[in-house]
A and B are shown apart, each in its own frame.
Chain A
Amino acid sequence: AQKITQTQPGMFVQEKEAVTLDCTYDTSDPSYGLFWYKQPSSGEMIFLIYQGSYDQQNATEGRYSLNFQKARKSANLVISASQLGDSAMYFCAMREGWGNNNDMRFGAGTRLTVKP
Chain B
Amino acid sequence: KAGVTQTPRYLIKTRGQQVTLSCSPISGHRSVSWYQQTPGQGLQFLFEYFSETQRNKGNFPGRFSGRQFSNSRSEMNVSTLELGDSALYLCASSPDLAPNNEQFFGPGTRLTVL
Contacts and interface: CB of A to CB of B under 8 A. Distances in A.
Contacts of B33: 103-104
Majority SS at the chain B contact face:
strand
- Chain A interface residue bracket vs B: 20 to 34
B100 A50 contact: yes
A52 B56 contact: no
A8 interface: no
B23 to A, nearest CB: 13
- Chain B interface residue bracket vs A: 20 to 34
B43 interface: yes
B99 A45 contact: no
Interface stretch (B13-21, B62-70, B73-81, B103-111): B103-111
B98 interface: yes
Contacts, number: 61
Given A44-B108, A45-B92, A108-B42, A95 B99 contact: yes
B56 A101 contact: yes
B42 A43 contact: no
Contacts of A108: 42
Nearest to A55: B100
Interface in B50-89: 55-56, 58, 88
Given A44-B107, A103-B45, 14 more contacts: A31-B99, A32-B99, A33-B99, A43-B110, A44-B105, A44-B108, A45-B105, A46-B105, A50-B102, A52-B100, A103-B33, A103-B58, A104-B33, A108-B42
Interface of B: 33, 35, 42-43, 45, 48, 55-56, 58, 88, 90, 92, 97-105, 107-108, 110
Minimum-distance CB pairs A-B, first 10: A45-B105, A103-B56, A33-B99, A106-B43, A95-B99, A47-B102, A33-B100, A108-B42, A103-B48, A103-B45
